[in-house]
């Protein structure tokens, strides 16, 4: 895939609900007959991790300080930070 297509695929994946992400991983793994791939991909996204572990029991819901809502295009991946 070209870079643009890869980015679009990643963006679509990231924006899917947890069930959709799980389906995509299962499909990719089945199509490539690679179940290790599936096991390796499950922890990739926070959404899936939260779905599997149950966020209520594991994570605090304390609102973070120094956070503000901004408009604009969401980045792909976890963070658009310039390190």
Partner 1 sequence: MPRSDVFLCELCPKNCRIREGQSGDCKVRIVIDGELRAVTYGRPCAVHVDPIEKKPLFHVMPGSRIFSLATAGCNLHCKFCQNWTISQAAPEDIRNVPLSPHRVVESATSQKCRSIAYTYTEPVVFYEYVLDTAALARQAGLLNVSVTAGYINREPLERLCDVVDASNTDLKGFSDAFYRELCEASLKPVLDGMITMKERGVWLEITNLVIPTFNDDLDMIRRMCKWILAYLGPETPLHFSRFYPMYKVRNLPPTPMDTLMRAREVALEIGLQYVYVGNVLGTEGESTFCPSDGTLLIRRMGFSVLENHLLNDACPTCGRKVPGLWGFRDT
Q: Which residues bind partner 1 (CB under 8 A)?
A: 7-8, 11-12, 14-15, 18, 43, 45-47, 49-50, 53, 55, 58-76, 78-83
Q: Output 20 or 35, the one with its CB closest to partner 1.
A: 20
What is the closest distance, in whole angstroms, from the C-beta atom of residue 7 to partner 1 in the complex? Answer: 8
The residues near 37 (Cβ < 8 Å, ≥ 6 apart) are: 25, 28, 29
Greatest Cα-to-Cα distance within the chain, rounded to the nearest angstrom = 45
| Smaller CB separation from partner 1, 31 or 71 | 71
Whether the CA torsion 12, 17, 21, 26 is positive or negative: it is negative
């Amino acid at each position: 895939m070209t870079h643009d297509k890869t980015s679009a695929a990643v963006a679509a994946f990231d924006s899917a609900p947890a069930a959709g992400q799980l389906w995509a991983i299962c499909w990719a793994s089945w199509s490539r007959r690679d179940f290790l791939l599936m096991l390796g991909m499950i922890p990739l996204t926070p959404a899936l991790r939260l779905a599997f572990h149950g966020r209520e029991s594991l994570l605090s819901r304390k609102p973070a300080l120094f956070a503000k809502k901004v408009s604009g295009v969401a980045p792909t991946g976890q963070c658009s930070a310039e390190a």
